[in-house]
Amino acid sequence: MTGTGQQLYYFDNYASTRTDPRVVEAMLPYFSERYGNSNSRSHGFGWAAEEAIDLGRERVANLIGAKAAEVLFTSGGTESCNLAVFGVARMYAEKGKHIVTTAVEHRAVMDPIRALEREGWEVTYLPVDQTGLIDIDALKGAIRDDTTLVSVIFGNNEIGTIQDSAAIGAVCKEKGVIFHLDACMGLDTEVIDVDAHGVDLLSMSGHKIYGPKGIGALYVRRRRPRVRLQPMMLGGGQERGMRHGTLNTPGIAGMGMAAELCRLERDADKVRMTALRDRMYKAFMELDEVYLNGHPTQRLPGALNVSFNFIEGESLMMGMPDIAVSSGSACTSATLEPSHVMRALGVGEDLVHTSIRFSLGRFTTAAEVDHAIEQCMGSANKLRDMSPLWEMFKEGVDMSTIEWKHD
């Protein structure tokens, strides 16, 4: 619901998911009944908190095929990514100062890497093809003797494209380079086994898997190889000395339950979400000049990023005010700058500004999808009816031959 009482239909699950009611139920006792500090090991309040954290750690580890001792808790996906990038770079700086990443990373990885560049690290940014995938041979060629880290996003938050993490991990193992996978998106529907995929560090976010905000996790491999990180904060000695500070017991209990529900329900959720997404996409394709952004099949099941040519994305959104969608990633939608992800795909600037990201989730219903289809197509048709450019296009005018005059 909005503040005016208007019904609002949520299609922005890649910005944040609704906290599952079962997760909320699991968290509640640790606010008002079992509110001790897990480091207070001399009484029952502390023991109860420690038990909740141990269970949460085990559940998160089970989701990715890890051991509980390899899971560190953070304040969210951004901190997990920052700790992975800065932690490895500074811990292994004597070995080398070269990092390999991609052109389509989330800013939680991109910005720390750019900060390291300003401090003297060298970075290779792997390009992607028009579907958003990197070339594995290009990755092999980019790794040097002084490369200490390869950091790659798993499921892209803007277009949904899923990288071949197993192939990337195999290359990193062959080359003896630490592999960080930003898996904040996708753990609710995709299976990632850190051993099978050769992952050394894996970032997770609670609120992207129907858990609470303000909690995340970082998998840090302990054997073959043992990965060490330089901490970003000091004081307290928690989390194997790599992430200091009092642990968020309610958040950890919630993230643990969220992870357990994903492990048990992800296959069914994936089938249902894929069907609803494809239903929406099929309807949109009945319109002319609609383009899918991202890989047609190798993508997250809730992801539908489409460009409606000759329609400005913000105007299209204004024409369907009861549909909550995004015109770009939630972390950067406040800026009018074209998305770096869309630019990396080679999408023309005209289509970049016409793109809308619909992201479906566990609680999206068929009725909501049908309503969103009706609203979006109605808005698109209305805007095109008012557009002289659309009229010229329909008359067969080659828009690329027009020379626009600017005062």
Beta bridge partners of 323: 9
Q: What is the pLDDT of residues 15-42, one digit of tens each?
A: 999 999 999 999 999 999 999 988 888 9
Per-residue pLDDT, 297: 96
- What is the reported pLDDT for 329? 41
How far apart (Å, rounded) are the C-alpha atoms in residues 354 and 309? Answer: 6
Dihedral, 140, 145, 149, 152 alpha carbons, nearest 10: -10
As given in the structure block, the two tokens for residue 357 are 């990201």
Contact 171, 189 (CB under 8 A): no
Query: Torsion angle of alpha carbons 27, 30, 33, 35, nearest 10°?
Result: -170
Residue 52 φ/ψ, nearest 5 degrees:
-65, -40
C-alpha dihedral, 293 to 295 to 300 to 305, nearest 10°: 10
DSSP 19: P
Q: What is the pTM of this model?
A: 0.94
Q: What is the mean pLDDT of each run of 10 residues along the chain (407 residues)?
A: 73 97 98 91 92 97 98 97 98 97 97 98 98 98 98 97 98 98 98 98 98 98 95 88 92 98 98 98 95 97 95 90 79 63 89 92 98 96 85 72 57
* Token pair 């858990």: residue: 211
| Cα 159 from Cα 280, distance rounded (Å) | 15
Beta strand ranges found along 138-295 (DSSP E)? 147-153, 178-182, 201-205, 216-220, 290-292
Cα–Cα distances in Å, from 386 out to 307, 351, 378, 393?
18, 18, 13, 13
> What residues are annotated to the active site?
331
Query: What per-residue confidence (pLDDT) applies to 92?
Result: 97
Burial profile 281-309: b = 16 or more Cβ within 10 angstroms, e = fewer: bebbeebebbbbbbbeeebbbbbbbbbbb
- CA dihedral over 35, 37, 43, 47, signed as positive or negative: positive
Give the other-Cβ count within 10 Å of 396's Cβ: 6
Residues 129 and 177: beta-carbon distance below 8 Å: no
Q: Give residue-wise pLDDT tens across range 333-384.
A: 455 567 899 999 999 887 888 899 999 999 999 999 999 999 999 999 999 9
pLDDT of 259: 98
**Are β-strands 216-220 and 201-205 bridged in parallel, bridged antiparallel, or unpaired?**
antiparallel
Q: Which domains does the chain have, with CATH numbers?
A: 9-16+266-401 (3.90.1150.10), 21-262 (3.40.640.10)
pLDDT in the model for residue 388 = 74
Q: What pLDDT does residue 211 have? A: 98
Task: Give dist(CA 158, CA 388) in Å, integer.
Answer: 30
> H/E element holding 357?
strand 355-359
Q: List the one residue out of 352, 57, 371 whose CA is nearest residue 215.
A: 57
What is the structure's pLDDT at 5? 65
Sign of the four-CA dihedral 158, 159, 164, 168 = negative
Distance CA 107, CA 340 (A): 10
Work out the angle between the directed axes of helices 249-284 and 366-385 (0-180°, nearest 10): 50
